[in-house]
Structure 1
Amino acid sequence: MSEFEGLVAVVTGGASGIGLATARLLAARGAVAVAFDVDTGVGPPLHGVRCDVTDDASVRAAVDAVVERFGRLDVLVNNAGIGAQGDVAANGDDEWRRVLDVNVLGIARVSRAALPHLRRSPAAAIVNTGSIAAWAGLPRRAVYSASKGAVHALTLAMAADHVREGIRVNAVAPGTADTPWVGRLLDAAPDPAAERAALEARQPHGRLVTADEVAGAVAYLAGPLSGSTTGTVLAVDGGMHGLRLRPAGS
């Protein structure tokens, strides 16, 4: 497939998990795929650029480096994010600021640096990574859920602001995905096998979402063939958001 042939795509948090799967898929479909991350240890066909999304100077330098090297920027996937556990009282102000700084302000920093270049693209698209946590009340995810709710709202606001500039803005909302962060949570649980089983059972299709499945949704939203899709939050959650199944066997 060559839908992205000639296009340059940046994926933040592109060195692992959903970001890495997305960057690899975009490259396979013809894009010049650049992974922004604090860890730039990616290999061909990807290009790694160090970028700390909490640092505006780092973000602007990374975007400038891409445009200087490749001459353009067409697709931005704002995927960098961090998690947090606990109810609303469990974390102090510093933790709230830390999560919001990465998950929300990080999107704002990278997007505003990329906008001048996206405006010159004939196929400009931004895809943000939201979460099922923005829609479903998940236990012990207060800070994280608040940040992803903000991502969904920001996506719609950006779509409205930039649609007449030819820039489409959408988001994906993954369910619980089999990523390194979830792996670390499972490893820290008193009974990792039981915790995994509970997370799998929470999703109607009975398993964790894969990084490749989320990447496929991102590529759909980012691709030129989806030129009339903007202001959409696409669930990739095994039906968790919309389905209400009867108990198994009933």
Structure 2
Amino acid sequence: MAQPGRRTAPPGVQVKPGERRRAFLSKEKLFKAEGLVLRTRVLGEADRLITLLTREEGKFEAVARGARRVKSKLAAGVDLFTHGCYTFHRGKTWPIITGQDAIERFNWFRENPALYAVGLYFSELTDRLISGEEPCPEIFGLLLEAWSLLGEEPDHFLLCRAFELKLARAAGYSPHLDSCINCGQFRINTFSPRQGGMLCRRCRTADAITIDPGTLALLRRLVEAPISQAGRLRPLANQKKELAAVASSFLTYHLDLGEIKSRFFLKE
């Protein structure tokens, strides 16, 4: 289990002590990658600058030339929430997208606009967490599955909490939920965001959040069970508040993500 509050390695990468991090983005002039569109921005008069999380090359930015033109062949494959296969040519500043084959364009927000904020939150959280070109297949798979589940789950609250906790674990962090993180006592009822785990009454600190046994059981399920099972859980109103408090405080303290703007538009 990853130590709470400490990053064990860059996402998806095993780094040996003293080993210099290599550049992961392909050095070939032409290369291909399967990717998820995390972000898209206007660039110049007709281009777009796309932030992609790819299975093979990690996260990087690429230019989609002419993508803002009506008849562009690239336009449909570089929209936000798109899963596709892309061909790139290495440019001087950014790779240039020369071809795309969209596997799936997630359009759940067209029927339910509230889901746009949730999908954007997943994308923004992932974008802020991953700093560079590091292969991170676990995070790639997690985001892809979360996007897929958004159109199936009527209640996104638990899906959000599961995504937050699993993303933190994939990044090398994991909350300690089995015993008191200080003394090992099994009678635990508070969670310390600063220490990254549960505490007993004797070790309780000022920042600790009191949670009931049912909330603790839910936290364990959300961390360990497949994300597809999150929607099967049925938390009580007070447990939902405690789950939100634990996940939010844990991420804010340990991942230093700052204010994720899309979070303020979520309806819990």
Q: TM-score, normalised by structure 1?
A: 0.26
Question: Larger Rg: 1 or 2?
Answer: 2
Q: TM-score, normalised by structure 2?
A: 0.25
Q: Specify which structure has the higher proportion of strand.
A: 2
Q: Specify which structure has the higher proportion of helix.
A: 1
